[in-house]
Amino acid sequence: MGSLSCIQLLHHHNPVLFSKSSGSTGLKSGIQRIKYLTNLSHPTVTNFTSSSFLKISCSATLSVTSEVEKRSFEADEANLLVKELQGVFNSGKTRSYEWRISQLQSIEKMLEEKEKDITQALHEDLAKPYLEAFISEISTTKGSCKHALQELKEWMEPEKVKTSITTYPSTAEIVSEPLGVVLVISTWNFPFLLSLDPVIGAICAGNAVVLKPSEIAPATSSLLVKLFREYLDNSAIRVVEGAVPETTALLEQKWDKILYTGSARVGRIVMAAAAKHLTPVILELGGKCPAVVDSNIDLQVTARRIVTGKWALNSGQACIAVDYIITTKSFAPMLIEALKNGLKECFGENLMESKDMSRIVSKSQFARLVKLLDEDKVSDKIVVGGQRDENKLRIAPTILLDVPQDTEIMKEEIFGPLLPIITVEKLEESYDIIKSKPKPLVAYLFTNNDQLKQDYVQNISSGGMCINDTVIHLTVPGLPFGGVEESGMGSYHGKFSFDGFSHKKSVMYRSFDGDASVRYPPYTPQKQRLLKALISGNLLRIIQALIGWSNDDVE
């Protein structure tokens, strides 16, 4: 699409992105924002109407002509969709334990019966190896579903809270109630997991849900439409496919919560749109996740775990992937050699032909990564790899040594198979390097030094942290997953998903007994003394006030 045509089209769908008065959002110009967004566009659009799914196929350029000829999902349809779901939610249908369980059981059944279809779609979108797709997407989603099925009844139980003497006799509790109609906008790198996992949380909490899958993973997006129609209650759970116009139309609506997974740049747009309606958001973004590597480690195990947490993780296209390593100058050569051996062990001698590694998702992402690699002060820092094949959208696992901090590869999240190693004289110097960048989603550390572990946890702020391994902390359902500052806000996984899509309502119950005149005017000196004693919570003072022995001054 030509830049002028793109801007005109998107101005029609969302003029606020181009408004001069929108500077308070802290975003760059509308042109810059849309340039980024249109790089993520895909030609297949599925339009969800109130009564049916309508598939629309556009040309690869997403030209204005194709948009005019083929009707897109617009704001009025999005508004109708939200109103329909609000009606379903207001009927109370989604609130019952039975409905929630039935939907979770249907998801579990879907995962069992459609495993082959899911892995095929993931291979078509990302060339994900079967085992990687099964473990990182199907099995992980299955685990979330099973955990929710086991724990949901307990999660839904009101939480008892102690009351104070000033409200005696009384009881109190926190009631978890669903928020209403929520929007989940997922991303392309784990298109199945990152669509289903938040939806599971929203269902657990009793909400009606709209899922907007990523158009960059079209096979998975199309499959999600089919599976949701076949397995789930479409009166309360819907899917909207599409690209920028469809997402814009959805963001113009008033939701009860939005969960977005993706880049910080688009996260700002989502948050700005949500702010117009005071809609709360969960933003799962990313950032440059560091791995600090000490020398007193099991080098072979460390190398394998870094290889797994970088290249075996969707070829580095993951927000939790190791983005760069910091180690000492003296230890770097040994670490590089261990990583080379780890790569050969996992992917064979010819890394470009390995069937155990995903490809780059698109030509635009491939071009972005090549640009990072070919920058003047970067290209001569390659010590391993560097090969690329645009036709196959493959870039070999690449290690770079001591890339300058002012290069783009050290400024932006890499999101690909490139791994810089930065060397320092002492590991403690790594703190300043990490702190000079936005707070990461995850920070990794490899060491047997207990003091270093303690210092790292205390000194480095990140969404999460994993010591002596990578990625695997996400498999613990009792740990929240979420970022901090530019790496995101809010969290989910396990009960945190339930809580994230619930309102915690405080409720106190009192009887008509125990009604004391002391709380009502007129406030005599005796009442004042007793009230002050009651507020203090000191039993002796209360007794003294009751029998008239209090020495409290009163006005």
Task: Give yes or no: 466 in active site.
Answer: no
Q: Is 307 helix (H, G, I), strand (E, B) or coil?
A: helix
Task: Give yes or no: 6 in active site.
Answer: no
- φ/ψ bin of 278: left (φ > 0), alpha (ψ from -120 to 50), beta (otherwise): left
- Give, rounded to a whole angstrom, the gap between the first and last alpha carbons of the chain: 77
Per-residue model confidence (pLDDT) at position 384: 97
Instruction: Report the distance separating Cα 198 and Cα 187, nearest Å.
Output: 12
Domains, the chain, in order of start with CATH, read 75-285+499-504 (3.40.605.10), 290-482 (3.40.309.10), 519-554 (no CATH)
Per-residue model confidence (pLDDT) at position 375: 97
CA separation (Å) from 47 to 7, 44, 55, 257?
Answer: 21, 10, 6, 22
The whole-model pTM stands at 0.85
Q: Judging by beta carbons within 10 Å of its beta carbon (0-12, 13-18, 19+), is residue 149 exposed, middle or buried?
A: middle
Per-residue model confidence (pLDDT) at position 55: 32
69 within 8 A of 56, measured Cβ to Cβ: no
CA separation (Å) from 235 to 84, 90, 478, 479, 502?
Answer: 8, 12, 31, 32, 20
Per-residue model confidence (pLDDT) at position 397: 98
User: Running DSSP on this structure, what letter comes out for residue 417?
Assistant: S
Which of 132, 215, 284, 486 is flagged as catalytic?
284
Which of 58, 289, 319, 466 is flagged as catalytic?
319
Per-residue model confidence (pLDDT) at position 72: 60
Q: Using the structure block, give the residue that is written with the tokens 């000196």.
A: 525
Per-residue model confidence (pLDDT) at position 50: 34
413 within 8 A of 324, measured Cβ to Cβ: no
Q: Which residues of the chain have pLDDT under 70?
A: 1-72, 552-555
Q: Judging by beta carbons within 10 Å of its beta carbon (0-12, 13-18, 19+), is residue 79 exposed, middle or buried?
A: middle
